[in-house]
């Protein structure tokens, strides 16, 4: 596939870049969440809610654009899917951060810093890849890196579950809450992988 | 897209309308579930199982029709997806109601009446939209309303989780059971949103 | 659709057969898991991890093949979906077996032998169906059997949940762990059904 220089195409790519950029911002908020005490966390959750609203608007902009464009750079379904999976990343991040606040969790487990670090890397790598959708070049390294990060996240997730159940002296209610949070961040990591799979699928079809 | 008057098309629409109509009936059973005591709930769960079987038959009818039709009103994949997501709505409703019976839950939390009211509205709005698939007119108001209802459901879901963990004096086993039920109804709401997204996708492609 | 005798096609079918064959092996390991004591289970979990890696390689081989093939036997998206759902079956089997080890669960509930037996049947039926993708003949009996098995799995899953909550004298932490395992095997069964639905979709489109 050659270069695409039509002005219509431009904003599809820029809307995907916007969505992924919001995910970079969202994971930065997650990092702050770890460093702050319980009272300050509420403002982080609100900030994430605002980012989620912005992401929703970017998604709707994309859908409207698909609606009104005669020509789209990829299959309309692929644009839909890519937008939907980027949306899922944000949803899981926002929801899981909100659970930490709603459940009034005090001390977060050690592994959570690494979980959030992996999500931050995933967001950055995704944001860097979005502009390359235009040329469909060099995307292979992106999805390989995402797969690697997802494997790392998965391994960590299992270790955290084992620690939660076996090494902690916490009661059952704490375990239920914390399992919800640990699982929520793992679902965010899974959603980043689905974004990468969709990009891989687009590259497969268009190349 | 103009009018479609071919006889083959008719029953696709009517089968979708049947599926959505069964969801309206199912949410009515959910409302009864709230009003009845523990012993009477078993018969509601059985009635929902019967509705789910009917819905399965409608789905299989659709698949068979797709198999044997030379021309379909939309892409075959979209018909498959729409049928599958409508099926998911019913599955989550039936399964969650059954959990209430299986877990022998006594008092249901206050928010659950509103959760079920939202599901009832979603079912009605969906059933009203299905006949409009024929002309693909006026569907935008449908998916906007479903998005609004899903946001409302999501907010309520989080409030119910917070109440369950923070304000209740229930034991851990009760919390696990009730979380399963609260989450199950939220998954039903998510499935209604997926139906709306699929309809949006069809409208995008066909218009 | 007539016969396909081009050499390119051959390895798509054989890669799907390889994936499904690995699932047969994986469910055999699950059966051993039931029969062995806690210390021996670790080696089963490692064996399943190795099988999952093999399955990942088969999936990547498929994707690479889709990338480099000018002609594919089915739509590229369908090949992607079929590969992805087969992958999900393996992921759920491997992950759930690992949970049994990670959670250091002693006695497994009675119904689990039947759960695993159903998964074994699903894997066998799937492996037998994969070569029939070539001619697209006799696939109907496959997806009907998978649906039947999934219904059976679903019924058993509910009974096991009811028993776990109502008849056991176990504490809440045990219930959380065991619910995770019981649900994990049910998700594996659901993934087998998604494989069957994808095959049904392919048959619908290609026939």
- Give the number of B-C residue pairs with CB atoms closer than 8 Å: 38
Using CA atoms, how far apart are residues C145 and A105, in angstroms rounded to an integer?
Answer: 46
In chain B, residues with a C-beta closer than 8 Å to the C-beta of A67 are 204, 207
Using CA atoms, how far apart are residues B79 and B81, in angstroms rounded to an integer?
Answer: 5
- Tell me what pLDDT residue C168 has: 64
Interval C183-188 mean pLDDT: 98
Residue with tokens 């992958």: C87
Domain count along chain B: 1
In chain B, residues with a C-beta closer than 8 Å to the C-beta of A95 are 158
Residue B77 located in a structural domain: yes
Best B71, B103, B171, B183 residue to mutate vs chain C (most C CBs within 10 Å): B103
In chain B, residues with a C-beta closer than 8 Å to the C-beta of A171 are 172
Interval C67-81 mean pLDDT: 81
Q: Which two three-digit tokens encode residue A31?
A: 């990092």
ipTM: 0.84
Using CA atoms, how far apart are residues A119 and A63, in angstroms rounded to an integer?
Answer: 26
Using CA atoms, how far apart are residues A167 and C102, in angstroms rounded to an integer?
Answer: 11
- Tell me what pLDDT residue A117 has: 98
Interval C125-141 mean pLDDT: 93
Tell me which residue in A162, A176, A201 faces C102 most closely, judged by beta carbons.
Answer: A162
In angstroms, the separation between the Cα of residue C65 and the nearest Cα of chain A is 10
- Tell me what pLDDT residue C74 has: 83
- Tell me what pLDDT residue B159 has: 96
Tell me which residue in B66, B172, B173 faces C204 most closely, judged by beta carbons.
Answer: B66
Q: Which two three-digit tokens encode residue A107?
A: 């001390």
In the predicted model, is pLDDT for residue C110 greater than 60?
yes
Percentage of chain C modeled with pLDDT above 90: 66
Residue B1 located in a structural domain: no
**Residue with more model confidence, B13 or C96:** C96
Inter-chain contact B175–A171, Cβ cutoff 8 Å? no
In chain A, residues with a C-beta closer than 8 Å to the C-beta of B163 are none
Inter-chain contact C63–A200, Cβ cutoff 8 Å? yes
Interval B87-91 mean pLDDT: 96
Q: Are C101 and C42 in contact (CB under 8 A)?
A: yes
Question: Could you tell me which residues of chain A have a Cβ less than 8 Å from any Cβ in chain B?
Answer: 63, 66-67, 76-77, 80, 84, 95, 98-99, 102-104, 171-173, 176-177
Classify residue A64 as exposed, middle or buried by CB count within 10 Å of its CB (0-12, 13-18, 19+). Answer: exposed
Question: Could you tell me which residues of chain B have a Cβ less than 8 Å from any Cβ in chain A?
Answer: 158, 161-162, 165-166, 172, 175-176, 179, 197, 200-201, 204-205, 207
Best B205, B206, B207 residue to mutate vs chain A (most A CBs within 10 Å): B205
Best B171, B172, B202 residue to mutate vs chain A (most A CBs within 10 Å): B172
In angstroms, the separation between the Cα of residue C56 and the nearest Cα of chain B is 26
**Residue with more model confidence, C63 or B32:** B32
Residue A2 located in a structural domain: no
- Tell me what pLDDT residue A86 has: 96
Residue B145 located in a structural domain: yes
In the predicted model, is pLDDT for residue B12 greater than 50?
yes
**pLDDT grade, residue C2 (50/70/90)?**
very low
- Tell me what pLDDT residue A9 has: 47
- Tell me what pLDDT residue B72 has: 84
How many whole angstroms from its chain centre is CA B75? 22
Percentage of chain B modeled with pLDDT above 90: 66
Q: How confident is the model over C27-37, as pLDDT tens digits?
A: 999 999 988 88
Q: Which residue, among C20, C188, C15, C22, has the nearest Cα to C99 in the 3D structure?
A: C188
For residue A69, give the CATH number of its domain. 1.20.58.220
| DSSP class of A133 | G
Interval C150-177 mean pLDDT: 91
Residue A43 located in a structural domain: yes
Using CA atoms, how far apart are residues C177 and C22, in angstroms rounded to an integer?
Answer: 27
Q: How many residues does chain C have?
A: 207
Inter-chain contact A165–C172, Cβ cutoff 8 Å? no
Note down the domain range covering A148.
Answer: 7-206
Residue A131 located in a structural domain: yes
**Residue with more model confidence, B64 or B54:** B54
Q: Which of A29-38, B4-13, B85-94 has the lowest mean pLDDT?
A: B4-13
Using CA atoms, how far apart are residues C198 and C86, in angstroms rounded to an integer?
Answer: 10
In the predicted model, is pLDDT for residue B3 greater than 60?
no
**pLDDT grade, residue B4 (50/70/90)?**
very low
Interval C158-179 mean pLDDT: 90
Interval B16-44 mean pLDDT: 94
In angstroms, the separation between the Cα of residue A172 and the nearest Cα of chain C is 6
- Tell me what pLDDT residue A52 has: 95
**pLDDT grade, residue B78 (50/70/90)?**
confident
Interval B100-122 mean pLDDT: 94
In our burial notation (b when 16+ CB lie closer than 10 A, e otherwise), range C123-150 reads: bebbbbbbebbbebeebeebbebbbebb
- Tell me what pLDDT residue A1 has: 40
In chain B, residues with a C-beta closer than 8 Å to the C-beta of C162 are 102-103
In chain B, residues with a C-beta closer than 8 Å to the C-beta of C201 are 76-77, 80
Best A139, A167, A172 residue to mutate vs chain C (most C CBs within 10 Å): A172
**pLDDT grade, residue B10 (50/70/90)?**
low
- Tell me what pLDDT residue C10 has: 57
In chain A, residues with a C-beta closer than 8 Å to the C-beta of B158 are 95, 98, 102
In angstroms, the separation between the Cα of residue B122 and the nearest Cα of chain C is 25
Q: How confident is the model over A148-207, as pLDDT tens digits?
A: 999 999 999 999 999 999 876 778 999 999 999 999 999 999 999 999 988 988 887 776
Inter-chain contact B165–A173, Cβ cutoff 8 Å? yes
Interval C69-84 mean pLDDT: 84
Residue A1 located in a structural domain: no
**pLDDT grade, residue C197 (50/70/90)?**
confident
Residues of chain A with pLDDT under 70: 1-10, 168, 207
In angstroms, the separation between the Cα of residue C98 and the nearest Cα of chain A is 9
């Amino acid at each position: 596939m050659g270069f695409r220089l039509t002005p219509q195409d431009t904003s599809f790519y820029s809307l995907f870049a916007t969505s992924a950029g919001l995910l970079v911002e969202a994971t930065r908020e997650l990092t702050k969440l770890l460093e702050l005490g319980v009272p300050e966390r509420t403002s982080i959750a609100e900030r994430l809610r605002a980012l989620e609203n912005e992401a929703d608007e970017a998604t709707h902009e994309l859908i409207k654009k698909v609606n009104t464009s005669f020509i789209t750079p990829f299959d309309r379904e692929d644009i839909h899917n890519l937008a939907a999976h980027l949306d899922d990343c944000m949803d899981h991040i926002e929801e899981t951060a909100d659970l930490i606040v709603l459940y009034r969790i005090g001390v977060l487990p050690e592994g959570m810093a690494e979980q959030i670090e992996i999500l931050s890397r995933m967001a950055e790598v995704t944001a860097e890849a979005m502009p390359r959708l235009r040329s469909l070049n060099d995307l292979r390294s992106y999805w390989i890196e995402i797969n690697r990060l997802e494997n790392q996240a998965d391994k960590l997730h299992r270790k955290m579950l084992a620690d939660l159940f076996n090494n902690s002296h916490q009661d059952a209610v704490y375990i239920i809450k914390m399992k919800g949070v640990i699982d929520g961040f793992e679902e965010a990591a899974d959603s980043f992988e689905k974004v990468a799979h969709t990009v891989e699928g687009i590259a497969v079809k268009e190349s």
